[in-house]
Structure 1
Amino acid sequence: MVEWNQTTTGFFLLGLFPSTKIGLFLFFLVILTFLIAFLGNSTMIHLIWMDRHLHNPMYFLLSQLSLSDLMYICTTIPKMAINFLSGDNSISLVGCGFQSFCFLLTGGSEGLLLASMAYDRYVAICRPLHYPVLMNKRSCLLMIAGSWLSSSINAICHSVYILSMPYCKSKIINHFFCDIPAMVPLACMDTWAYEYTVFLSTFLFLLTPFLGIMASYGRVLYAVHHMRSSQGKKKAFTTCSTHLTVVSFYYAPFVYTYLRPRSQRSPEEDKNLAVFYTILTPMLNPIIYSLRNKEVLGALQRLFGKSLSQKE
């Protein structure tokens, strides 16, 4: 293991794949996933902002979710790809700090945005008469601003602290990006107090929203069960199942990784779990919300129809 002191100016990332033919194949799969996620989320943002039929709280929150997913994949995958292709796995101290900040920012904001979307569906289905009051433009903007602001504060605090710790065990991070659980074991100091703050942040930004989502959708499904309209019941059930699919892919591996004690963690397992919430979920979000949503599909048809008519 390489010994080093606090004056070292960077780290080395072991990456996600080995330098073999199988690793190269998996690498191209990740790049394909990245391109699908980038195109899908960019299209969703453009579509929601351009089509007036989608100018409501639900889709405004969805546009922020797509923005968060774009930041997610652009924070981790390009650097991983550059390191894999060049064979140079180094990352500067500033680069590591910036990557950690962006990852924590998008991770926290996405957790809170998913909870806001669940609340939006709860009000729309369980309290439809109060929806214009409870989910007005001001409320929606406050939810979005609160998600990004609180996540920014949390990300700054953790990023500054993690880079200020003395690292003397190794500068090799067994991950494909600068993730806190992978960096803490490298510090040559007692980190038990800091690990409690990581646990607290995970509880506030991931576990609490997840429990809130489960509670709200439990109430929604109960209300759906008692609906008289079969068409309304089917639409509400589809919305719930769509959101719960995204929630499961995102929260479960994230919470499992960050709430486990260090003694029970495996670097390889942490890397594999990170694939779900950093690569797969950003790809699935736009696919699920577009293919299973008639309003989004209609907006796509109007957008492409308008483009074709302008060319003619």
Structure 2
Amino acid sequence: MFRDSLEAGARAVAAHFDHVLSDAADLPVLHAMRYATTGGKGLRGWLVLEGARLHDVAPERALWPACAIEAIHAYSLVHDDLPCMDDDDLRRGLPTVHRKWDEATAVLAGDALQALGFEMVADPRCHPDPLVRADLTLSLARAAGARGMVLGQALDMAAERADAPLDLQQITALQAGKTGALIAWSAEAGARLAHADLAPLTAYAERLGLAFQIADDILDVEGDAETVGKAVGKDAGRGKATFVSLLGLEGAKARATSLVTEACDALSPYGHRADALREAARFVISRRN
């Protein structure tokens, strides 16, 4: 049931992208933008839609921030894959944007997707109240920028040049930015749209984001490129500290399971209405790609 909901959310977000980009120019950068948002599970967009449903926000409003977070996430992946960053050839089972086109097109496509994300949460069709739109825009900027995702990426790059690997506290802080910040914003967006209390969803999302990254580290060890859709084993090859290298494989799995339990417990104020979010948390550590 959760997988059906996740797939339906991904289809809705893809259709909204088509609508937003319907009058775009016929240029490589626009084709690259569409390409970069194709595939993937759409978990972040789904979290926005589900959080909005939990707070009785109309789906047609929720689609704007749902599409926005997927645009920001796609931009981050396009730039992360570049030779100057992680230098990856494969993403979601397909050639990365800079391989399919070129580096300049990838940079511009990422830039355009980032701008599009902010454009969508600032659009009056997202919410009639300008204060709500301002809150969504400001919080997204903080989650995506030098206080959130970009900070995490910068810490990750610095760690590769450091003399000693990161310890558990440091890597937890790194991943709270690199992976967790956008997941947290996704989970909180529905409550922001409804002027509701963020605290339960913030607590849920913090644990979900960390469990998601631990699951990624496990997949990097146990997965294969064909199933995962990207290169695996790169972290070990670079000598990077990961949750697996610090906790061991079984320890990492146990920590992820514990985090999922904590995430589900954080949703207790919503009762059974939040069961889909609980399923999402369990899905995160059971996925194979």
Provide TM-score, normalisation by structure 1: 0.27
More helix per residue: 1
Larger Rg: 1
Larger relative contact order, structure 1 or 2 (CA cutoff 8 Å, min sep 6): 1
